[in-house]
Amino acid sequence: MTLGKDQNSTMNYINGKPFVYADNAATTKISDEVFEAMLPYLKEKYGNASSIYSIGREAKIAVEHARATAAKAFNAQPQEIYFTSGGSEADNWAIKGCAHQLAKKGKKHVITTVFEHHAVLHTMDTLTKEGFDVTFLPVGKDGIVNPADVKAAIRSDTALVTIMYANNEIGTIQPIAEIGAICKEAGVLFHTDAVQAAGNVEIDVVAQNIDMLSMSAHKIHGPKGVGLLYCRKGVILPNYIDGGQQERGKRAGTENVAGIVGLAKALELATQNIEKKVAVITPMRDKLIDTLLKIDRTRLNGDRTRRLCGNVNVSVEGVEGESLLLMLDMNGIAASSGSACTSGSLDPSHVLLALGLKHEVAHGSLRLSLSDMTTPDEVDYICEKLPPIIERLRSMSPLWERICREGN
């Protein structure tokens, strides 16, 4: 596989064919700066951060420097940052850890929403089996949680509220500061899965009253397999992995030094100039949305403006998401669908169903997620390829025929 660049445009090519990566909500390409920052810790500075000779000490210094950088990105303190293997682990640790801790005080109620990432939803399944009572708040048709619902759901035995900062499928940004204030007033812990939001939205854990926050490096041009949990000082967080003294004894195991350095670099770059990045990506997102909405019987999923600058999620009636993805792939476009058939299940996305979409509409959904590496040429390419693909699929679809006949 050879990646190439056209001299006259900002398109990427694989084996001479256009390649457009539009699945940045799934993962992102590591940036050159991040890769360069990591390399020394994979090669010459390979020491164990717990060792006392110089390459060990250098590794230790790098980890602590990364901790300070990561803390700064969220207005947290370095001692409030715990490095993990990613967003899923941070979610599991925060939620299970605090739920178990507070259950000892008779608090066995947890509040979340129906449209969380599976790292949170499946953690709730585990807690339910353990005897916790979980309230799943609904989301509005616009994909936004109503803070008044959070307030109304809090009980005297509520241990924790966990609500994602921005949704990974439809990109909607939640009123986190309002929810944080409600939780603070009620004396309930507040955790947010900010894996999609970090680097795309200004986050201030102090101003927004966030007690715990999860993020992951690979969603912001960092390496896979590394993330962090911010846990406010004073919140009792049980150990996650017993063993050595790493992460203040709470998560043992020799540090993933290169990964941690990469995470910090990615976070530093991503949070450096969010406003500018949003200003560059938003018009590309809006062009895609406008192009898709011009097509008959399509709808945008999630609020038009309160969404991540790089998220497009559109339902296209009369086509199946999988067929759409295959056709896009044949044209070199990597995207994602709102249905989960590829993961072995025929159920449409729980997120789209939560918005009130009918099964067959949810099945024909497409997510295009952009990053600051996406170029206008790539967006133009998608805008050129997508409409004829949809037309072609519809022309072969019995479902589309029925929709046209019944006209409802």
Ligand X SMILES: *Cc1c(COP(=O)(O)O)cnc(C)c1O
Least separation in angstroms between residue 201's CB and ligand X is 13
Tell me if 122 is assigned to a ligand binding site.
no
Least separation in angstroms between residue 219's CB and ligand X is 6
Least separation in angstroms between residue 401's CB and ligand X is 36
Contact 189, 211 (CB under 8 A): yes
C-beta of 103 vs 335, nearer to ligand X? 335
Distance CA 141, CA 87 (A): 27
3-state secondary structure of 83: strand
Within 13 Å of residue 165, how many CA atoms lie on the same side as its CB?
Answer: 26
Tell me if 88 is assigned to a ligand binding site.
yes
What's the Cα-to-Cα distance from 26 to each of 22, 195, 220, 277, 351, rounded to whole Å?
A: 9, 11, 10, 19, 15
Tell me if 168 is assigned to a ligand binding site.
yes
Least separation in angstroms between residue 187's CB and ligand X is 26
Q: How does DSSP classify residue 378? A: H
Contact 13, 19 (CB under 8 A): yes
Q: How does DSSP classify residue 343? A: G
- Residue 199: left if φ>0, alpha if ψ -120 to 50, beta else—which one? left
Contact 134, 127 (CB under 8 A): yes
The contacts of residue 330 (CB under 8 Å, 6+ apart) are: none
Least separation in angstroms between residue 164's CB and ligand X is 6
Distance CA 143, CA 148 (A): 15
C-beta of 266 vs 319, nearer to ligand X? 266
Tell me if 217 is assigned to a ligand binding site.
yes
Closest CA to 230 of 248, 210, 250, 213: 213
C-beta of 107 vs 117, nearer to ligand X? 117
Distance CA 150, CA 134 (A): 13
98 flagged as catalytic: no
Least separation in angstroms between residue 349's CB and ligand X is 13
C-beta of 84 vs 374, nearer to ligand X? 84
Q: Which residues make up the interface to ligand X (CB under 6 A)?
A: 86-88, 117, 119, 164, 168, 193, 195-196, 216, 218-219, 227
Closest CA to 368 of 288, 307, 280, 277: 288
Pairing state between β 158-162 and 189-193: parallel
Tell me if 336 is assigned to a ligand binding site.
no
Distance CA 18, CA 2 (A): 12
C-beta of 28 vs 271, nearer to ligand X? 28
C-beta of 28 vs 69, nearer to ligand X? 28
Given the residues 98, 341, 383, 404, select the one marked as catalytic. 341
Contact 339, 359 (CB under 8 A): no
**Residues with a known catalytic role:** 341
**Which residues define the annotated binding site?**
87-88, 168, 196, 216-218, 254, 341
Residue ranges for the known binding site for [2Fe-2S] cluster are: 341
Please give the annotated binding residues for pyridoxal 5'-phosphate, written as ranges: 87-88, 168, 196, 216-218, 254
